[in-house]
């Protein structure tokens, strides 16, 4: 029993730095992708519409900066999947907020604009909130076997989300604000991380059972299809959001919504905190609120370029 606990703690300890490295790759990749999208947009139509056309998507595939950013994002996804294999969803997902911190400093360096004191305080809130959340999650949550009912709930909820977002996008595409794309992408990528974690555990279970074709196998296939659909639509929304603003704002939205969705599903549906004391939920809420407050303040500071700098630089 003690050996199993030690093994789990060791795996979680390795999963955290892996997730952190993935977050750094996410930040750099986002910066490069935004630069590529910005370049394509500047050479294309001059209308104020929001949304990328097919020819602009094709043009992105020819931009070295966008391709390099995509490669880094691909590596970030691989590292996140590996970290999900090593540690519970509730530990891995909140670490994505580190990508926002890196993005803000990287964007400030690229634009040659110094962060003001409000941005620094917001970064500290992110570090304190996420650090406390992850520390507590690492000590009180664990990966548990996924039951058929739990997987069915996740698939059904994702189907409803995809249908709702798809209908809104199809009907109101010409008038949708960037905030819609940022929030929708965050929700979808929250499901992507959740489904990836589910697939990892389900595939392990199916292998152990000798690949018997049961209802759970069809649920696993539905889970995989949902993951691909959510990843593709979420990626398009992210590229569209890049076309109308700085990467800091986009990453800020993703690092708020994505972990909230993933952790909520991990705790409520998957039961990763089922054995934790009652007071843990309260601390989760408080530390999560601190992290969200920091991300919110940081996103406000980086929304407009002038606010990144001290107005009266000596």
Structure tokens at 105: 């400093």
Cα torsion at 283, 140, 27, 175 (round to 10°)? -60
Among residues 89, 270, 249, which one has the least CA distance to residue 185? 249
Note down pLDDT in tens along the chain; length 314 residues: 344 444 446 767 788 888 889 888 888 888 888 877 777 766 654 444 555 666 777 777 778 888 888 898 889 888 888 887 787 767 777 777 778 778 878 877 877 777 778 878 887 888 888 778 877 877 787 767 677 788 888 889 999 999 999 999 888 887 887 778 888 888 898 888 788 877 877 777 666 766 555 555 778 888 889 999 999 999 888 888 877 666 777 777 677 777 778 777 877 787 777 777 888 888 888 988 888 787 777 766 654 443 333 333 33
CA distances from 89 to 134, 159, 250 (A): 10, 21, 22
Token readout for 190 is: 């929250």
3 CB-near residues (< 8 Å, 6+ apart)? none
Listed residue (110, 115, 121) closest to 27, CA to CA: 110
DSSP codes, 115-128: --HHHHHHHHHHHH
């Amino acid at each position: 029993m003690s050996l199993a606990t030690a093994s789990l703690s060791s795996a979680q300890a390795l999963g955290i730095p892996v997730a952190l490295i993935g977050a750094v790759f996410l930040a750099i990749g986002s910066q490069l992708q935004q630069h590529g999208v910005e370049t394509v947009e500047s050479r294309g139509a001059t209308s104020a519409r929001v949304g990328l056309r097919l020819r602009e998507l094709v043009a992105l595939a020819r931009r070295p900066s966008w391709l390099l950013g995509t490669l880094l994002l691909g590596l970030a996804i691989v590292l996140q999947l590996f970290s999900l294999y090593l540690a519970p969803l509730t530990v891995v997902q909140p670490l994505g907020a580190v990508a926002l911190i890196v993005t803000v400093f990287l964007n400030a360096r690229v634009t040659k604009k110094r962060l003001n004191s409000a941005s620094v305080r917001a970064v500290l809130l992110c570090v304190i909130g996420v650090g406390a959340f992850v520390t507590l999650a690492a000590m009180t949550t664990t990966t548990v076997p996924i039951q058929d009912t739990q997987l069915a709930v996740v698939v059904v909820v994702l189907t409803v989300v995809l249908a709702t977002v798809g209908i809104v996008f199809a009907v109101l595409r010409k008038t949708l604000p960037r905030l819609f794309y940022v929030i929708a992408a965050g929700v979808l990528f929250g499901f992507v991380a959740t489904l990836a974690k589910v697939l990892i555990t389900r595939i392990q279970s199916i292998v152990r059972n000798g690949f018997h074709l049961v209802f759970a196998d069809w649920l696993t296939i539905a889970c995989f299809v949902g993951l691909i659909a959510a990843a593709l639509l979420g990626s398009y929304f992210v590229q569209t959001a890049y076309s109308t603003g700085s990467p800091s704002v986009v990453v800020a939205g993703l690092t708020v919504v994505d972990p909230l969705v993933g952790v909520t599903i991990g705790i409520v549906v998957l039961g990763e905190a089922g054995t934790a004391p009652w007071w843990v939920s309260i601390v989760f809420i408080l530390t999560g609120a601190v992290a969200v407050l920091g991300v919110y303040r940081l996103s406000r500071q980086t929304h407009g370029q002038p606010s990144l700098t001290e107005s009266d630089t000596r």
